[in-house]
Amino acid sequence: MAGAWKEFYDSVIGYNLNYVNSIQLADYPKQFWQAFYPQFQTFWPVYLLATLGILSSFRSKSSFRILAGWLLFSVVGIAIGGYFRGHYFIQIFPAIVLLATSYLVLETSQRWPRNSVAVSAVIVGLIVAWGVWRGSWYYGTASPDEKLSRYMARTPLLSPCLQGVISLITPVLWTKSLCLGPNRRSFITQIVPAPVDIFLFIHCYGSLKILLNASGKFYQI
Amino acid sequence: MLSWGFISGLLLGVSCLFKQVAIVNGAFIFLYLTVKKPRRIPLMLSVAAGMGTILLATGGYF
């Protein structure tokens, strides 16, 4: 691979600079809605909790302000180029899920201090169950080709992936000493973003490519 | 803290090589460190050093 600087530059930078200039700015909203609405139908409870978390940032909750800022920058990331392909939304999942679960833990801690973990677990369980029910076709007996086609065409990546992220992060957030205690700033800003980034951008993206390659098909993603 | 900053920079560098839009997450980290942290300069330098290590190593390899 040594001596392939030109190819490396083209693959990492040059190609992307051309790729992001194909969609007109006026078409961004339409492209966004076409990609966002199908997943919103399934994950509206998560987005609702995240929105309430954002609103909490206006009540001097510094941890929510940090997460809201992280979400804002992540939205900029998925908007680059204006394509809004389904898997692009992976970039906002960490901030969305942390906003949603932080708000959930905060509210349940204030309303039901003795049973906050149990109440949070029930609510998260219902949200995950709703997502599983909406995406039940994925866990059914359809053929791999049929699943792959539907996976890419209708609900690309989102159903299993978001549930996975929720499952991974929620138990961490329940250890309130980390995210709502005195160390919350250093935890959120220095420990969470890096491994979550690496998990999302390598594991999920890599898994998708492996899945597609294993199926003997090639999709331009 | 500086070691976490360096590790964050390393992972940020790798992330940017895999998906270039990760650069906006890096921008957020630097913005937060600029606004919030009392030891902002050493922390920013440690993140930049981590990111630079990955990018320079990758660039050098190719």
Q: Which of A102, A14, A121, A87 is nearest to A55 (CA)?
A: A102
Interchain proximity B62–A76, CB inside 8 Å: no
pLDDT of residue A142: 75
pLDDT of residue B1: 65
- Return the number of other C-beta atoms located less than 10 Å from residue A148's C-beta: 17
Expressed in percent and rounded to 5, the helix, strand and coil fractions of chain B are 90, 0, 10
pLDDT of residue A60: 63
| Residue contacts between A and B (CB atoms, under 8 Å) | 82
Whether A191 shows a pLDDT value over 50: the answer reads no
Classify residue A124 as exposed, middle or buried by CB count within 10 Å of its CB (0-12, 13-18, 19+). buried
With both helix axes pointing from N to C terminus, report the angle between A116-134 and A93-111 in degrees, rounded to the nearest 10: 140
Whether A120 shows a pLDDT value over 90: the answer reads no
Helix, strand or coil for residue A154? coil
Interchain proximity A201–B12, CB inside 8 Å: no
Whether A37 shows a pLDDT value over 90: the answer reads no
pLDDT of residue B52: 94
From the CA atom positions of chain B, what is the Rg in Å? 11
| Range of A50-54, A146-150, B1-5 with top mean pLDDT | A50-54
User: What is the rounded average pLDDT of the residues A170-191?
Assistant: 40
* Chain A residues lying within 8 Å of B8, measured CB to CB: 190, 193-194
Is the CB of residue A86 less than 8 Å from the CB of residue A32? no
User: What is the rounded average pLDDT of the residues A78-91?
Assistant: 84
Is the CB of residue A184 less than 8 Å from the CB of residue B36? no
The complex scores an ipTM of: 0.87
Is the CB of residue A85 less than 8 Å from the CB of residue A156? yes
Residue A137 CA to residue A201 CA, distance in Å, equals: 26
pLDDT of residue A204: 43
pLDDT of residue B51: 92
Residue of B24, B39, B56 to mutate when probing chain A, most A C-beta within 10 A = B24
Whether A87 shows a pLDDT value over 90: the answer reads no
User: What is the rounded average pLDDT of the residues A174-203?
Assistant: 41
Whether A12 shows a pLDDT value over 70: the answer reads yes
Interchain proximity B11–A198, CB inside 8 Å: yes
Whether A220 shows a pLDDT value over 50: the answer reads no
Range with the poorest average pLDDT among A35-44, A86-95, A174-183: A174-183
Any chain A CB within 8 A of the CB of B57?
A: no
Structure pTM? Answer: 0.71
Higher-confidence residue: A16 or B49? B49
Higher-confidence residue: A142 or A186? A142
Residue A161 CA to residue A22 CA, distance in Å, equals: 28
CA distance B53 to chain A (A): 16
